[in-house]
Amino acid sequence: MIDREVQIFTDGACRGNPGPGGWGVLLRSGKTEKELWGGEPDTTNNRMELTSAIRGLEALNRASSIVLTTDSQYVRKGITEWIKGWKAKGWKNASRQPVKNRDLWERLDELCETHNVDWRWVKGHSGHLENERADALANRGIDELGDL
């Protein structure tokens, strides 16, 4: 049973592609907010965009009604449109090539089975307050890689 509404704002970043990357998440439920971030030393921007959505959903301890806002059309369209075809074709894309980042797509798909997710897109770096905060968290994830 879904008994609460949560807003999740996600972003991924990469310095070089591939290169060091980071992911950032802002979660909001009522007046409560939580920030999450992390990084990987050698990754791609798309992997970080997917990871941010996954980490946001993994942070929830029960089924929720979610509005998840991303600036990645790759993530939004992938999970809402493309994934059905990929699964039907044995995880092959329209060019009959293996789907990139299949491990992350499978995890995201699994998490979406638990929650009611309304996927929203916002243009990145357009002044959207929560997207800018998620971007800053993703960059913090990269910056903190140097602290290891």
Which are the catalytic amino acids? 11-12, 49, 71, 125, 135
CA dihedral (41, 43, 47, 48) positive or negative: positive
User: How far apart, in whole angstroms, are the C-alpha atoms of residue 38 and residue 138?
Assistant: 7
The partner residues of 42 in beta bridges, in order of sequence, read none
Contact 36, 55 (CB under 8 A): yes
- Residue 40, strand partner residues: 21
Q: Alpha helix locations (H) across the chain?
A: 45-58, 73-77, 83-88, 102-112, 129-143
CA distance 89 to 141: 35
